[in-house]
């Protein structure tokens, strides 16, 4: 047991490490393509360069990877020389970084028009009041520099008199802001500490988005799971004990067709029948009326997922049941004169469920793939949809964080499967 848990932990570490490295380096946004996606093709090189600096893309990739994994607040804290902390902004619900000067005084800095640094003191309601900062500069390499947190919550380095020009997109268009910081560190606590940073695509903190998305997906997947499991096990057992008979053939073939038809094909056919032809159910699972997720909305997506998973689980259960029914101990039970029902339920089912449980749990990855397709097909605002959009956009932070979530889900389901397996298999439990 100890060995097993130890191996699982190692497996999690290795997997998360490999996945994150792979994602980070494959989707490395420093080549600037992402800037075009954010700013549009009409943007000027100067604007792109400014954005790249604001996003911290000019930081070397290894440093950026380390920041993203374990955070950079401690690095910033050292540069700033003051304590920094994350506070909730009541109006947006997002967490923002502030310098904590003690006694409930939290500040950010902003360089005014005249090159004067002003300090922004946070009020209770999340807004701030600007005050002159006074002389906070210190000497470095013959220049007067200052590290602080700017009004966007990034660690920033100002150099007196050498303000760079920052381009900021506002409602009225692009604004040129002179005297902007020359170096930025977008503050992040790191994925391993539960903070994935700010999404490049939405410019919102990822740790705010993912929970709601994941909850939606959980509802969808959970509904499918609750639907699939009992049905599939039942059909699998029925087919398994009637091996070769008509009922087995029927169940097996339908299972096979279900699991080998791609989700989008099943989904499209279901939409065609129930939404377009019969007009019973909506073709999209988007909550337009504001009534929340209803059974009506969820029916088609759940059915689509069910079709694929049901077939798979049935086939696994059936195969295992067929094997078990041929085992010598089943023969023993029959020769002992046990009634058939008792043979099946007492002697066969428990042994037959051992093998599929682990296999089914391993299948979670295909299931996640299915969820992505189904969410996109039905426009369902879940994690799958988020993963897809992040991937297409090249939002390495959003994709990375959500991918790690799915990896954790995959590994923990596998772990649960293994644990359940050890629990129902006395040969492992008692050795």
Partner 1 sequence: MNMDKKFEQPVLKLEDVAITYKVRNGEIDAVQNVSFEIFKGESHGIVGESGCGKSTVAWAIVNFLGANGYVKSGSIKFQGQELVNKSDEELRRLRGDQIAMVYQDPMQALNPSLRLGDQMKEVLTVHRGMSESEAEDRCVDMLSRVYMPDPENVIKRFPHQISGGQQQRVVIAMALLNNPALLIMDEPTTALDVTVEAAVLDLIAELRRDFDTAIMYISHNLGVVARVCTQVGVMYAGEMVERAPVRDLYADPKHPYTQGLLRCVPKLGGDKASSQLYPIRGRVPPPNNRPSGCVYGPRCDYARQRCLDERPEVRQMPDGTSVRCHFAEEIDPAAWIPPEDIKLTPATEDVTKNEPILIIKDLKKYYDVAGSSLKDILGLGEKRKVKAVENASFEVPRGSTLGIVGESGCGKSTLVKTIIGLENATAGQAEFNVEDVTFDVTSSLSGRDKKLIQELQMVFQNPDSTMNPSYTVGQQIGRPMERFGTVPPDQIRSEVVRLLEAMRLGENYFDRLPRQLSGGEKQRVGIARALASRPELVLCDEPVSALDVSVQAAILNLLIEIQREFGTTLLFIAHDLSVVRFFSDFVAVMYLGQVMEFGPAEEIYQLPYHPYTEALLSAVPIPDPSVTQKRIRLEGNVPSAISPPSGCRFHTRCPRRKLMPDGGKKCETELPPWREFNNGHRIFCHLPKETLESFDPVISKAAEPAAD
Partner 2 sequence: MAATQASSPVQSRGAKLLSSIQSYIALIFTSRIATIGLAIVLFWVVVGLISLVWTPVDPNASDFRPNQPMSAENWLGTDRLGRDNLSRVMAGTQVILLKTRVPALPLSGYFTGLAGLIGIVLIIRAIPMLEEPNQRLKGWGNLIVGIALIPVVIFLNGLLGLQAIVLPNFVLPLGVALWGVIGSLSLGTVLGLLAGYKGGWYDQIIMQILDALIAFPRIVLYLVVITALGQGDLIMIFAIAVTGAPGVARLARSQALDIKTRDYIRAAETRGESIWFIMFREIWPNAIGPLLVDSMLRVGYAIFTIGTLGFLGRGLPPPEPDWGNMINVARPSFGTVPVSVLAPAVAIGSLVVGLNLFVDGLNEEITRYQK
Q: Which of 334/391 has CB closer to partner 2?
A: 391
Give dist(CA 396, CA 26) in Å, integer: 9
Write out the two tokens for 288.
């337009």
One character per residue 13-32, x = contact with partner 2 (rule: CB under 8 A): -xx--xx--xx--xx-----
Both tokens of 89, joined, read 């902004």
Choose one: 156-164, 185-193, 223-231, 270-278; the region binding partner 2 (CB under 8 A).
270-278
Is 237 in contact with 349 (CB distance < 8 Å)?
yes
Closest-CA residue to 47 (of 62, 61, 32, 59): 32
Q: For partner 1, which residue of 83, 332, 379, 408 counts as binding (CB under 8 A)? A: 332
Task: State how far the Cα of 378 lies from the Cα of 374, in Å rounded to an integer.
Answer: 6
Residue 304 beta carbon to partner 2: minimum distance, rounded to whole angstroms: 12
Q: Is 4 in the site for partner 2 (CB under 8 A)?
A: no
* Contacting range for partner 2; rule: CB under 8 A; set: 81-89, 168-176, 336-344, 388-396: 388-396
- Whose tokens are 């040129």? That residue is 176
DSSP string, 324-353: HHTSHHHHHHHHTT--HHHIIIIIIHHHHH
* Site track 189-228 with partner 1 (rule: CB under 8 A), x = hit: ----------------------------------------
If we measure between CA atoms, which residue out of 101, 105, 102, 135 comes closest to residue 118?
Answer: 135
Q: Is residue 69 close enough to count as binding partner 2 by CB under 8 A?
A: no
How many whole angstroms separate alpha carbon 379 and alpha carbon 234? 32
Report the residue number, 249 or 336, with the smaller CB distance to partner 1. 336
Q: How far is the CB of 185 from partner 2 (least distance, A)?
A: 25
Q: Does 61 participate in binding partner 2 (rule CB under 8 A)?
A: no
Which one of the spans 146-154, 219-227, 372-380, 417-425 is the region binding partner 2 (CB under 8 A)?
372-380
Among 63, 276, 340, 423, contact with partner 2 (rule: CB under 8 A): 276
| Minimum CB distance to partner 2, residue 216 (Å) | 17
- CB 359, CB 316: distance < 8 Å: yes
Q: Minimum distance between the CB of residue 232 and partner 1, rounded to whole angstroms?
A: 21
CA distance 266 to 272: 10
Least distance CB 355 / partner 1 (angstroms): 12
Among 244, 290, 291, 292, interactor with partner 1 by CB under 8 A: 244
Contact flag: residue 419 with partner 1 (CB under 8 A)? no
- Contact status: 414 vs partner 1 (CB under 8 A): no
Q: Specify whether the CB–CB gap between 285 and 301 falls below 8 A.
A: yes
CB of 289 to partner 2, least distance (A): 20
Q: Identify whether the C-beta of residue 157 lies closer than 8 Å to the C-beta of residue 145.
A: yes
User: Near partner 2 by CB under 8 A, which window of 139-147, 155-163, 271-279, 347-355?
Assistant: 271-279
Among positive and negative, which fits the CA dihedral 251, 252, 257, 262?
A: positive
């Amino acid at each position: 047991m100890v060995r097993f848990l130890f191996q699982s932990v190692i497996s999690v570490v290795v997997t998360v490490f490999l996945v994150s490295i792979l994602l980070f380096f494959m989707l490395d946004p420093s080549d600037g393509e992402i800037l075009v996606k954010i700013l549009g093709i009409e943007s000027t090189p100067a604007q792109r360069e400014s954005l790249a600096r604001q996003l911290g893309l000019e930081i070397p990739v290894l440093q950026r990877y380390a920041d993203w994994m374990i955070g950079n607040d401690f690095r910033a804290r050292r540069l700033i020389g003051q304590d920094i902390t994350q506070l909730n902004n009541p109006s947006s619900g997002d967490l923002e970084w502030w310098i904590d000067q003690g006694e409930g005084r939290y500040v950010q800095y902003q360089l005014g028009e005249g090159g004067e640094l002003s300090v922004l003191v946070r009020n209770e309601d999340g807004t701030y009041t600007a005050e002159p900062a006074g002389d906070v500069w210190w000497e470095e390499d013959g220049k007067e520099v200052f590290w602080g947190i700017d009004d966007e919550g990034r660690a920033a380095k100002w150099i007196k008199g050498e303000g760079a020009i920052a381009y900021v997109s506002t409602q009225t268009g692009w604004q040129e802001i002179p005297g902007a910081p020359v170096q930025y560190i977008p503050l992040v606590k790191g994925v391993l500490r539960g903070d994935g940073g700010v999404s490049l695509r939405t410019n919102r903190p990822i740790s705010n988005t993912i929970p709601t998305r994941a909850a939606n997906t959980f509802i969808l997947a959970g509904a499918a799971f609750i639907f699939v499991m009992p049905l599939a096990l039942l059909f699998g057992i029925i087919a398994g004990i009637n091996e070769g008979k008509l009922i087995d053939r029927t169940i097996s073939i339908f299972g096979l067709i279900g699991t080998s038809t791609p989700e989008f094909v099943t989904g499209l056919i279901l939409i065609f029948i129930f939404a377009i032809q019969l007009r019973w159910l909506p073709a999209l699972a988007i909550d337009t009326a504001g009534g929340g997720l209803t059974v009506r909305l969820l029916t088609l997506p759940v059915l689509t997922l069910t079709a694929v998973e049901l077939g798979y689980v049935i086939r696994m259960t059936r195969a295992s049941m067929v094997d078990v029914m041929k085992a010598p101990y089943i023969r023993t039970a029959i020769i002992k004169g046990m009634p058939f029902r008792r043979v099946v339920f007492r002697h066969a089912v428990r042994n037959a469920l051992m093998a599929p449980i682990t296999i089914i749990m391993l299948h979670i990855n295909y299931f996640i793939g299915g969820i992505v397709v189904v969410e996109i097909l039905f426009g369902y605002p879940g994690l799958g949809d988020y993963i897809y959009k992040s991937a297409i956009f090249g939002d390495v932070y959003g994709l990375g964080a959500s991918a790690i979530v799915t990896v954790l889900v995959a590994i923990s389901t596998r772990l649960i499967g293994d644990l359940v397996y050890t629990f129902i298999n006395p040969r492992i439990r008692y050795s």
